[in-house]
Amino acid sequence: MPVVMDADRVAKSLTRIAHEIIEHNRGIDDIRLVGIRTRGVPIARRLAAALKDITGADVPTGALDITLYRDDLMRQSVGPQPVVRSTEIPFDLEGKHVLLVDDVLYTGRTIRAALDALIDFGRPKTIQLVVLVDRGHRELPIRADYVGKNVPTSLRESVQVHLAEIDGRDEVEVQS
């Protein structure tokens, strides 16, 4: 299985993204991080640590749990729909710049569900998207603002993100 990002590449990407976030938002006062479970959450926490290393400030970090749901009426042509199962966001989003964080951007359907949840939750001023890997094949007009690595894939391939906090190592692989 080809490794498209090793631990060093993952670390350097997240440091670079932290700098991009600061530059794009002219500071981090109004920044809030929200990771999508499972692997978006440790990535969000690493970004918070990188932002603290650079600025000295703590960025509040929360989590969204989104699962794929297949109902009885679901047709083959569309597939399961993402549904927001729970939110752990113990801070106010109103008027804030919310950085939504996920490991892999693919069809965009999970992100759309997350946008709905965040907007219902608290009227953020902006929602910006951070992903470690963009694998292409979008089904909705969604784009990431910050990308660790663009990894062009075929539909038959899958992208496996391994993170030390969950999997014991940092590595991104493409499986066919």
Contacts (CB under 8 A) with a second copy, residues 125-154: 125-129, 138-145
Residue 68 vs 166, nearer CB to a second copy: 68
What's the closest the beta carbon of residue 1 comes to a second copy, in angstroms? Answer: 29
What residues does 98 pair with on adjacent strands? 32, 127
What residues does 174 pair with on adjacent strands? 159
Residue from 72, 77, 156, 168 touching a second copy (CB under 8 A): that is 77
Let me know: does 176 contact 3? Beta carbons within 8 Å: no
Distance CA(68)–CA(82), nearest Å, equals 4
Number of residues that bind a second copy (CB under 8 A): 27
What residues does 167 pair with on adjacent strands? none
Residue from 28, 43, 111, 117 touching a second copy (CB under 8 A): that is 111
Residue 107 gets which letter from DSSP? Answer: S
- Residue 146, classed as helix, strand or coil, is strand
Pick the piece of the chain touching a second copy (CB under 8 A) from 15-23, 53-61, 119-127, 156-164.
119-127
- Residue 173, classed as helix, strand or coil, is strand
Does 115 contact a second copy by CB under 8 A? yes
What's the closest the beta carbon of residue 145 comes to a second copy, in angstroms? Answer: 6
H or E stretch including 41?
A: helix 40-55
Let me know: does 143 contact 19? Beta carbons within 8 Å: no
Does 20 contact a second copy by CB under 8 A? no
Does 112 contact a second copy by CB under 8 A? yes
Residue 107 vs 160, nearer CB to a second copy: 107
Report the side by side order of strands in the sheet with 158-162.
Answer: 3-5, 171-175, 158-162
Does 116 contact a second copy by CB under 8 A? yes
Does 23 contact a second copy by CB under 8 A? no
Interaction site with a second copy (CB under 8 A): 75, 77-78, 81, 94-95, 100, 111-112, 115-116, 119, 123-129, 138-145
